[in-house]
């Protein structure tokens, strides 16, 4: 059995035992099965399911095939938002008076994330993970997070996981925490409160580029899932293939992450253009204000990801420009459609090739 390394994750439904004890079993089983299926669906590549264990899903991602740290964090957050939305829909659509349906709002979700070494054994039709780092992950389920912080829905990152994410400053937005375990000693941990993630999604004020405001639309079909395309799309190396930049760098990250007001700085020879993020919706879209080569003239750009039967459609939409030379900027788009289509197709070919190389 070869030793592997990578991320280890447990997605655990909070309040499961109490919920079962106060609910009719038939309805409770149906609700919990739906929630577990949701968690399984959201364990997306490179995460692979090891197995389910009652109220939890255990998964892993091998080093070398892993996505960026920011995308990994966004996957956890996206799963939590989907879980809370499912609970909300259960409550809103409930016409049943049984305890199982009445008590569903008490359920919540937490994640445990570690990075280390482990072995994989084929056992009973699933991948059984073994090793001391796997043992540590399971020990994290028994903790004092709620008592120490009052936070009930959280992601608990080990210090090793924080280092592996590679997000400089990410821990600055988390709560430092420590646990002590027999044979393991004191373990340094970091707690992310997930309730603000859900509230931010609920309060999200969306902006868009109306169809009548679009001056250029190009798209391409990519044989990868939206979260995989997103992971490539936000990397300067691959985004440069779309824009035709020699290189890009990112400025104004927040706690190590790209967020609204972050800036992609694009270098085109001696010319430098800036793309300021206006809206950031992981796995769905981002919208930016792009400085054009024309003085003091900017154009809004939307990068939209739409799931398809075979993968993802990436659509690039440019709206009407703003600034003293806006009419000239909009007129210019009529002559560069092929150039932009070539850029987005170049991106498609590069990401499909890169993912295939990592999957081998």
Q: What is the pLDDT along the chain (360 residues), one digit of tens a residue?
A: 678 999 999 999 998 777 766 666 666 777 888 999 999 999 988 899 999 988 899 999 998 777 899 999 999 999 999 999 999 988 787 666 666 666 788 899 999 999 999 999 988 778 899 999 999 999 999 999 999 999 999 999 999 999 999 999 999 999 999 999 988 899 999 999 999 999 999 999 999 999 999 999 999 999 999 999 999 999 999 999 999 999 999 999 999 999 999 999 999 999 999 999 999 999 999 999 999 999 999 999 999 999 999 999 999 999 999 999 999 999 998 899 999 999 999 999 999 999 988 766
User: What's the CA gap between 272 and 110, in Å, rounded?
Assistant: 43
User: What's the CA gap between 203 and 192, in Å, rounded?
Assistant: 19
pLDDT at 18: 74
pLDDT at 350: 96
The predicted model scores a pTM of 0.93
Q: Which CATH code of 1.10.1040.10, 3.30.530.20, 3.40.50.300, 2.40.128.20 fits the domain covering 205-354?
A: 3.30.530.20
Q: Please answer whether residues 353 and 232 qualify as being in contact, where contact means their C-beta atoms are separated by less than 8 angstroms.
A: no
Q: Which fold has domain 3-201?
A: Alpha-Beta Plaits (3.30.70)
CB atoms within 10 A of CB 211: 9
Start and end residues for every CATH 3.30.530.20 domain found in the chain: 205-354
Q: Please answer whether residues 131 and 117 qualify as being in contact, where contact means their C-beta atoms are separated by less than 8 angstroms.
A: yes
Instruction: Give me 346's structure tokens.
Output: 């170049």
Give the SS3 label for residue 167.
coil
In this structure, what are the phi and psi dihedrals at residue 129, rounded to the nearest 5 degrees?
Answer: -90, 135
Start and end residues for every CATH 3.30.70.1230 domain found in the chain: 3-201
pLDDT at 100: 64
Closest CA to 326 of 288, 276, 291: 291
Closest CA to 1 of 118, 92, 84: 118
In this structure, what are the phi and psi dihedrals at residue 86, rounded to the nearest 5 degrees?
Answer: -65, -45
User: What's the CA gap between 13 and 10, in Å, rounded?
Assistant: 10
Instruction: Give me 353's structure tokens.
Output: 């090739």
């Amino acid at each position: 059995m070869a030793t592997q390394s990578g991320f280890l994750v447990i997605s655990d439904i909070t309040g499961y035992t109490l919920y079962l004890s106060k609910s009719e079993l038939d309805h409770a089983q149906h609700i919990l099965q739906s929630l577990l299926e949701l968690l399984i669906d959201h364990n997306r590549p490179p995460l692979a399911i090891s197995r389910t264990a009652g109220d939890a899903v255990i998964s892993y991602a091998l080093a070398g095939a892993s996505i960026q740290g920011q995308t990994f964090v966004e996957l956890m957050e996206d799963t939590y938002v989907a879980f809370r939305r499912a609970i909300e829909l259960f409550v809103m659509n409930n016409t049943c008076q049984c305890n199982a349906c009445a008590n569903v709002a008490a359920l919540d979700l937490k994640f445990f994330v570690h990075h280390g070494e482990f072995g994989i054994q084929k056992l009973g039709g699933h991948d059984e993970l073994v090793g001391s780092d796997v043992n540590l992950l399971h020990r994290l389920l028994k903790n004092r997070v709620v008592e120490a912080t009052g936070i009930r829905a959280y992601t608990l990152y080990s210090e090793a996981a924080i280092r592996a994410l590679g997000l400089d400053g990410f821990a600055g937005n988390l709560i430092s925490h420590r646990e002590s375990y027999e044979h393991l000693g004191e373990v340094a941990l970091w707690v992310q409160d997930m309730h603000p993630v859900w509230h931010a999604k609920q309060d999200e004020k969306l902006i868009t580029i109306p169809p009548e405001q679009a001056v250029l639309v190009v798209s391409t079909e990519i044989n990868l899932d939206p979260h995989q395309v997103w992971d490539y799309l936000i990397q300067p190396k691959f985004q440069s293939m779309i824009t035709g930049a020699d290189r890009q760098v990112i400025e104004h990250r927040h706690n190590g992450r790209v967020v609204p007001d972050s800036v992609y700085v694009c270098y085109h020879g001696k010319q430098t253009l800036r793309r300021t993020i206006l809206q950031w919706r992981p796995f769905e879209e981002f919208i930016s204000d792009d400085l054009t080569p024309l003085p003091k003239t900017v154009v809004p750009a939307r990068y939209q990801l739409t799931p398809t039967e075979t993968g993802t459609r990436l659509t690039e939409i440019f709206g009407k420009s703003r600034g003293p030379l806006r009419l000239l900027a909009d007129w210019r788009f009529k002559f560069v459609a092929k150039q932009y289509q070539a850029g987005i197709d170049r991106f498609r070919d590069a990401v499909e090739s890169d993912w295939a190389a990592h999957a081998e």
